[in-house]
């Protein structure tokens, strides 16, 4: 199991043909045309089953199918959900139209009165990943810093086992776009029984002096078992 390099959007993927002749696809980000299946529950925050508390208050993810506050991290309060038309496009963190559908989420991270704080979003995979069977997973999410606290945000995205608490970091990158959405994505080979996805701020020190805020939309975890993956198996 190894983490592959993180990528930004618009990566021009290599072809499976290339993997056969020179390099293995597993050493590169997946081609966007690769045959992958979405396995994250409610990936765009569009399924809301109840009345959600106002953003900025504890328990704001209540009623959002598949999503809860993540474990562990020192949290300023809790992650937020913004649903149309109450808090979109205008809310207490600024103006932003959804990238996808009608709703999005938001998290705080950064240094606040000397302490680094972050908020953590945890999503649910449709089924636990198969233990002992290596697959390639592509993880991505779209971010934008709110216009009120529009400082850069250092973000990590992890696969997580809710029983063993094992984590596998897939993305570690900075969000700095306060005007539009930007994608962070990466791919990973994993053979562990992960069942959750976590999105949270990460303390990078030099950027940890200011509390920032980041919107999140169109999250994705894709399982990719064909194409380059199959070809790569022949090279081992
Ligand atoms: Ca959405």
Q: Count of alpha carbons within 13 Å of 97, Cβ hemisphere only?
A: 2
Mean pLDDT calculated for residue range 79-90:
88
Distance from Cα 24 to the centre of ligand 1, integer Å: 34
Pull the structure tokens for residue 121. 């979003």
Domain with 64, as residue range(s), is 2-233
Closest to 32 measured CA to CA, from 140, 104, 190: 140
Mean pLDDT calculated for residue range 52-56:
78
Distance from Cα 132 to the centre of ligand 1, integer Å: 33
The sign of the dihedral angle between the CA atoms of 39, 43, 47, 50 is: positive
- What would the DSSP string read from start to end of 156-218? EEEEE-TTT--EEEEEEEEE--SSS-EEEEEEEEE-S---EEEEEE---STTTTS-EEEEEEE
Distance from Cα 182 to the centre of ligand 1, integer Å: 14
Mean pLDDT estimate for the chain:
80
Helix (H) or strand (E) holding 72: none
Distance from Cα 100 to the centre of ligand 1, integer Å: 4
Distance from Cα 214 to the centre of ligand 1, integer Å: 14
Residues 6+ apart with CB under 8 A from 85: none
State the pLDDT at residue 30.
Answer: 53
Calpha distance 236→221 (Å, rounded)? 26
Do you find a cis peptide bond into 208, omega within 30 degrees of 0?
A: no
Distance from Cα 234 to the centre of ligand 1, integer Å: 39
* Whole-structure pTM value: 0.81
- The string of pLDDT tens digits covering residues 86-128 is 888 888 888 899 999 999 999 998 888 778 888 999 999 999 9
How many structural domains is the chain composed of? 1
Distance from Cα 141 to the centre of ligand 1, integer Å: 11
The model's confidence at residue 78, banded by pLDDT at 50, 70 and 90, is confident
Q: Are 120 and 79 in contact (CB under 8 A)?
A: yes
Distance from Cα 183 to the centre of ligand 1, integer Å: 14
Residues 6+ apart with CB under 8 A from 10: none
3-state secondary structure of 59: coil
Write the CATH number for 28: 2.60.120.260
Pull the structure tokens for residue 106. 């938001």
Distance from Cα 224 to the centre of ligand 1, integer Å: 23
- The string of pLDDT tens digits covering residues 10-27 is 333 333 333 332 233 444
Distance from Cα 6 to the centre of ligand 1, integer Å: 23
Distance from Cα 86 to the centre of ligand 1, integer Å: 14
Look at residue 3 and tell me whether its pLDDT is greater than 80: no
Distance from Cα 50 to the centre of ligand 1, integer Å: 16
Distance from Cα 173 to the centre of ligand 1, integer Å: 21
């Amino acid at each position: 199991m190894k983490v592959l390099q993180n990528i930004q959007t618009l990566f021009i993927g290599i072809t499976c043909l290339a993997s056969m002749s020179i390099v293995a696809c597993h050493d590169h980000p997946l081609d966007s045309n690769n045959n992958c299946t979405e396995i994250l529950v409610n990936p765009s925050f569009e399924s809301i089953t109840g009345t959600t508390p106002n953003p900025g208050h504890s328990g704001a993810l209540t009623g959002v199918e598949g999503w809860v506050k993540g474990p562990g991290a020192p949290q300023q309060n809790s992650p937020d959900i913004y649903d149309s038309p109450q808090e979109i496009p205008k809310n207490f963190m600024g103006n932003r139209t959804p990238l996808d559908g009608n709703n999005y989420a938001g998290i705080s991270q950064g240094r606040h009165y000397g302490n680094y704080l972050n908020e953590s979003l945890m999503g649910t995979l449709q089924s636990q990943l198969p233990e002992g069977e290596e697959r390639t997973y592509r993880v991505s999410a779209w971010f934008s810093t709110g216009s009120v606290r529009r400082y850069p945000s250092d973000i990590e995205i992890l696969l997580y086992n809710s029983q063993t608490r094992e984590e596998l970091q897939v993305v570690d990158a900075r969000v700095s776009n306060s005007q539009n959405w930007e994608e962070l994505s990466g791919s990973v080979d994993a053979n562990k029984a992960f069942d959750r996805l976590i999105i949270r701020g990460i303390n990078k020190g030099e950027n940890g002096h200011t509390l920032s805020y980041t919107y999140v939309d169109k999250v994705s975890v894709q399982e990719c078992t064909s194409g380059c993956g199959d070809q790569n198996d022949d090279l081992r």
